[in-house]
Structure formats: C-alpha cells, structure tokens
Structure 1
Amino acid sequence: MSAETSVQSAGSFTRLRLRFRDWRGSRPFWAGLFTMLGGVPIAYFPYATLKLGTMSIAMATTAGAGSLIIGVLLFTLGLTMWFQQATRIFAGVAAIVLALVSLVVSNIGGFILGFLFALIGGALSASWAPGKPAADAGRRAASQDPAGDGGAGTAPENAAGGPGEPHPLPDPVHGAGAEDSNGGYRVG
C-alpha cells in the first residue's frame, strides 16, 4: 500500500457522490422517490399478515389485485420520473390520480402512508422544471453590477433581460420587472 491509495479511494468516493448529485439535480429525483415509496405500502398491506404475539392480523380484501396494480404502477411511475424526464407532468398527474384511487381501493391508501407519499411525489413531479445551465447563470451574474440593479448606465435592451431571455413581467409593488437577487421574479 502506498500513501496515495487512501487519497485515490477518497477521490473516487467524492467523484461518485458528485456524479450522483449531478444526476439527481437533472431530474425530479425526490418526486420519483416519494412516488415509489408510496407504491410500496399500497401494494404490501393487502397481502401482509401481521403477527402480534399469538394473534395474526390479515388485511386480505377483495381489492388485493387492485392494490397490487396501483402499487406497481406507482413504482413504475417513480422510475419513469427518474429516467424519462419528458413525461414528468403526465407521470405526476397519473401518480396523483392513482393516489386518490388508492383511498377507495387499497385499505385507505395503504393506511394513509402510501397515499401521502404518492400524492407528494406526484405533486413534486408535476411542478418540477429543469434548471438553467450554469453558464447561463454566470453570464447573467456578470452582466449585473454587485447591487443587482443593472447600474445607472445600463442600456434599455439589457434592462429587459437581453436577447433570448424572457421579458420581465410588470410588478405593481416594486416597479416594472423587479427581480430578486437570484434572477427570479418576485411574487408579491
């Protein structure tokens, strides 16, 4: 073993962690995770037999097949959110609908636990939008002065966001096109 061995393994772990962080940041990761976690209790509880001492509790109902189908579909939708970002809105809406259907079909949506996870995952997926590339953010930061107001000598075309950028929306409280410090528009 050399002195560099531990550095290389720490470096590979850091590289893997950073690669995973980049992969996670480019897709609705938490939406997919919550949706998959929501499918597990919905599919599991109708087939589970819980033991409390000598007493066994079985939740076998006539809706067992429906619960299994909903659980598998939610798990599949979660994977779809991860690997097919173009269908994230459809997958989010479908997850919300399946979560609502699970309330009736699957033992109150997997004892509310699966329902809540699937509902949150579907909402996160439907509302997720891909971020802007880092180069675009750096270009916008360089075009503004440190105060963030564009400076007194800013040309009118730069005040509107420059070519290829959306025109700022009027803000009745803070003036036309007021932006916050990170370039997003203020709501109120």
Structure 2
Amino acid sequence: MSPESQGQNEHYLTVARRGFRTWRGDRPFWAGLFTMLGGLPIMYFPYANMHLGNMTLAMSTTAGAGSLIIGVLLVTLGLTMWLQSIVRVFAGVAAILLALVSIPVANIGGFLIGFILALVGGALSISWMPGETPAEGAPEEAPETVSFAKDEQPEAALHGAGIPEQQPAPYDTAADTDGGRHRAG
C-alpha cells in the first residue's frame, strides 16, 4: 500500500459515517431532531389508548385534530431545518410558538415531553450559525502557542512572544484611590 492510494480500501461504513458527519455539520441537525421528536408525543398522546387488563383508557380529547396539526407542523419544521437551513430562524420561531400553543391544545404539550423538546429544538435552530469556510488555496493558520520554562515567568514570556507591553496613557482620566484628590508634591 502506498501513500498515494489513501481511501481506496476504506470500509463503506467509515465512508458513510464521514459523509453523514459532514452533512450534519452543515445544518442545524440537533435542532431539527429535537423539533421532530417534540412533534411525535404531541401527535401521539391524543390518539393513544392504554390497556389495563380488560379495561381500555382512551386519552383522546376534543382537541385531537389540533394536536395532530401541531405535531405534523413540528415534524415538518424539523425537516425544514435539516433540508433548508437558510430558514432556520423562521423555523425556530415557529417551533417555539407551536410548542407554546400545544400546552392548552394538546394534553399539556404532550405531557410536557413534546413541549420541552420542541422548545429546545426551536432555540437551537435560532442560535445555530453556519461555520465559516476557509478560503480556497489559503492554508489554515494554527493558533500560536506559548510554552513556559519551569523558572520563566508568564509575563516575560508574553513580552518576548511579540505582545507589546501596555504603555500608560499620557493623561489619566480614572479617579485615584484617594477619591480623585491629587497631592501637591
């Protein structure tokens, strides 16, 4: 195997994982996931039946259609965050508003599970920013690191590392420690 043949013998799962990682990094992935997960309990609980032996408890309410609409919209907004990241702020605000509306409409927001997940997803979507891509042809600059010798003081290392020493201003506008009164010398 030569250095020129890198990547030819990589396992397809490694390639798929790297591709997914790149795709995930280009969009508000976690915001979309939380928003979609928030829509599921809001949709599910109004139509769920719980069986206790021979007895069936139906949790359906008169707001079943409203819950279904809110849940479907939250799932759609989560997919929008993934596929159209340019509208992430709108989708985040809409997810937060739908989560707030789900409290009175959809069984206390899917028993607070869907409400909290949708709020977190909306907030993550609003706060997500795309990363800056480096200019083509320009090498990435590594941050400067400063190492200290055991007996060397950090201040001396900083002054020697090209960081200029701060010079006092020719006039001082700050109040002195004696309350601004200057002593006549």
Q: Tell me the TM-score normalized by structure 1.
A: 0.70
Q: For residues 11 and 73 of structure 1, do their structure 2 counterparts lie closer, same or farther at Cα, with a shift above 3 Å needed?
A: same
Q: Secondary structure at the match of 2:11?
A: helix
Report how far residue 37 of structure 1 moved: 0.4
Report how far residue 153 of structure 1 moved: 7.4
Give distance in 2, aligned partners of 1:145 and 1:79.
Answer: 41
Q: Secondary structure at the match of 1:130?
A: coil
User: 1:146 maps to which residue?
Assistant: 145
1:58 matches 2:58 = yes
Q: Where do residues 124-139 of structure 1 align in structure 2 (5 Å cutoff)?
A: 124-133=124-133, 139=140
User: 2:17 maps to which residue?
Assistant: 17
Report how far residue 146 of structure 1 moved: 2.1
Q: Where do residues 29-44 of structure 1 align in structure 2 (5 Å cutoff)?
A: 29-44=29-44
Deviating 4+ runs (over 6 angstroms): none
Q: Secondary structure at the match of 1:51?
A: strand
Q: Percent identity?
A: 62
Give distance in 2, aligned partners of 1:33 and 1:145.
Answer: 37
Counterpart residue identity of residue 116, structure 1 = I
Give distance in 1, aligned partners of 2:47 and 2:163.
Answer: 70
Give distance in 2, aligned partners of 1:138 and 1:120.
Answer: 37
Q: For residues 147 and 71 of structure 1, do their structure 2 counterparts lie closer, same or farther at Cα, with a shift above 3 Å needed?
A: same
Cα shift readout 1:52-102 (whole Å, capped 9, x = no counterpart) = 222211111110000000000000000000000000000000000000000
- Give the structure with the larger helix fraction: 1
Q: Secondary structure at the match of 1:21?
A: helix
User: 1:123 maps to which residue?
Assistant: 123
Q: Secondary structure at the match of 1:139?
A: coil
Counterpart residue identity of residue 100, structure 1 = L
Q: For residues 132 and 62 of structure 1, do their structure 2 counterparts lie closer, same or farther at Cα, with a shift above 3 Å needed?
A: same
Report how far residue 133 of structure 1 moved: 2.1
User: 1:103 maps to which residue?
Assistant: 103
Report how far residue 26 of structure 1 moved: 0.7
User: What is the root-mean-square deviation of aligned Cα atoms in Å?
Assistant: 2.5
Q: Secondary structure at the match of 2:62?
A: coil
- Specify every segment of 5 or more residues in structure 2 that has no aligned partner in the other structure, as ranges: 1-7, 148-157, 165-185
Q: Tell me the TM-score normalized by structure 2.
A: 0.71
Counterpart residue identity of residue 145, structure 1 = E
Counterpart residue identity of residue 162, structure 2 = A
